[in-house]
Amino acid sequence: MPGLPLIIDCDPGVDDAVALLLALAAPEALDVLAITTVAGNVGGALTARNACLVRELAGRPEVPVFAGLDRPLVRAPVAADHFHGESGLGDLPVRAPARGPETAGAVDHLVQTLRSRPAGDVTLAVTGPMTNLAAAMREAPDIVARIRQVVAMGGARREGGNITASAEYNIHADPHAAEIVARSGVDLVLLGLDVTHQVTATPPRRARLKGLDSPQARAVGQLLAFSARTEAEIGLGGPPPMHDPCVVLWLLAPDLFRLRPCHLAIETESPLTLGHTAVEFRLSAGRPQTALWGVEADADGAFDQVCDLLGRYG
Ligand code: BDR
Ligand code: CA
């Protein structure tokens, strides 16, 4: 059976890079049609360059990269280069990629792909601010019904925020985009800090990667070591959460996660809580289900999957 047709919309980003390497390791399960990039952790030129470098590292030069929007829909850009390094790829060596992004932009590509493929065929994995997807939905509302599912990393309920007291970075960085997606009626799975903080790269888990002898596994080890240092210095102090990889892991092994139906609303006004995800489990006629929210993850099982996927390289 062919893999799930998938577009990965991302802002690499240390953990986005890990997510890409995992997704590109499983072509029989995930048919990555394209990678689209957006400004987020670092600027748009860098996230596009980084996606091109990661597809080369994965040995998947045929996967096209489309560069997307350079700034959020409404608010001013919020970078997270303190967590991802100036380049966005921690301390991995960077250079100009052998092949750059395609000439078409990400938003046009999303619209065109969703219109040209059969309805309900394409899944979107979103691991950055939702700017590209929201812009595509705004420009071409007909695409909403054509998307199979959006699986995104974003938001926080039980855990509180990681960029402000109450907001998670991806949603805070473009709350207006997240609101468009949340209200669109698209089939939405949201994996926020409540689950990604459970899937951490502890020292024993990172040590397992040392047994895998491939450039890709070594790069993941280096990226996670970088995140471990930044989490200790400027983050919450624990082992680094595998935020974006959770999206890929859920697509490959949904049983690793427990989700609950919820009504989702995004704070777009308050300077104090901008980007807060109001996740309501008490559903009613006036507050219908609009998303599935990740509440629990099997971290050991998730890391077994990570090792299994990385073991396919080399
Ligand atoms: C999210 O924010 C970004 O910095 C990471 O790449 C991840 O997508 C975690 O809050
Ligand atoms: Ca990201």
User: What are the tens digits of pLDDT across the range 27-61?
Assistant: 999 999 999 999 999 999 999 999 999 999 999 99
pLDDT at site 255: 98
Catalytic-residue membership of 176? no
Topology (CATH) of 4-311: Inosine-uridine Nucleoside N-ribohydrolase; Chain A (3.90.245)
Q: How confident is the model at residue 79 (pLDDT cuts 50, 70, 90)?
A: confident
Number of Cβ atoms within 10 Å of the Cβ of 68? 29
Worst-scoring range by mean pLDDT, 190-194, 210-214, 273-277, 293-297? 210-214
Residue 81: the pLDDT is 83
If you measure from the C-alpha of residue 13 to the centroid of ligand 2, how many angstroms do you get, rounded to a whole number?
6
169 close to ligand 1 (CB < 6 Angstrom) = yes
Q: Which ligand is nearest to the CA of 241?
A: 1
Q: 237: alpha, beta or left, given left = phi > 0 and alpha = psi -120 to 50? A: left
For residue 314, pLDDT over 90 is answered with no
What confidence score (pLDDT) does residue 158 get? 97
Q: How confident is the model at residue 82 (pLDDT cuts 50, 70, 90)?
A: confident
Task: State mean pLDDT over 220-244.
Answer: 93
The pLDDT-based confidence of 235 (bands split at 50, 70, 90) is confident
> Which pTM value belongs to this model?
0.97
Over 80: is that where the pLDDT of 1 sits?
Answer: no
Is the confidence at residue 234, as pLDDT, over 90? no
Residue 88: its pLDDT value, please? 97
Q: Please give the pLDDT value at position 102.
A: 98
pLDDT of residue 176: 98
Given a cut of 90, whether residue 236 has pLDDT beyond it is no
Mutate to test the pocket of ligand 1, among 81, 169, 171 (most ligand atoms within 8 A of CB): 169
The answer on pLDDT for 183 being more than 80 is yes
DSSP the chain: -PPEEEEEEE---HHHHHHHHHHHT-TTTEEEEEEEE-SSSS-HHHHHHHHHHHHHHTT-TTS-EEE--SS-SSSPP---HHHH-TTSSTTS-----SS---SS-HHHHHHHHHHHSPTT-EEEEE-S-SHHHHHHHHH-GGGGGGEEEEEEE---STT--SSSSS--HHHHH-HHHHHHHHHTT--EEEE-HHHHTTSB--HHHHHHHTT--SHHHHHHHHHHHHHHHHHHHHS-SSSPB-TTHHHHHHHH-GGGEEEEEEEEEE--S-TTTTT-EEEE----SSS---EEEEEEE-HHHHHHHHHHHHTT--
Distance, CA 255 to ligand 2 centroid (Å)? 23
Question: Ligand 2 mean position to 145 CA, how many Å?
Answer: 25
Quickly count: other Cβ atoms within 10 Å of residue 115's Cβ: 12
In angstroms, the CA 24 to CA 311 distance is 12
The mean pLDDT of the chain is 97
What is the average pLDDT across 306-310? 98
Query: Residue 175 has what pLDDT?
Result: 98
Q: Which ligand minimizes its atom distance to the CA of 9?
A: 2
Probe ligand 1: pick from 8, 84, 153, 246, max atoms within 8 Å of CB?
153
Band of residue 190 on the pLDDT scale cut at 50, 70, 90 = very high
pLDDT score at 80 = 87
Average pLDDT on 198-203 reads: 97
Domain ranges of the chain: 4-311
Q: What is the mean pLDDT of residues 213-232?
A: 96
C-beta 172 within 6 A of ligand 1: no
Q: Which two tokens stand for residue 156?
A: 């926080």
Spatial CA neighbour of 291 closest among 190, 157, 165: 190
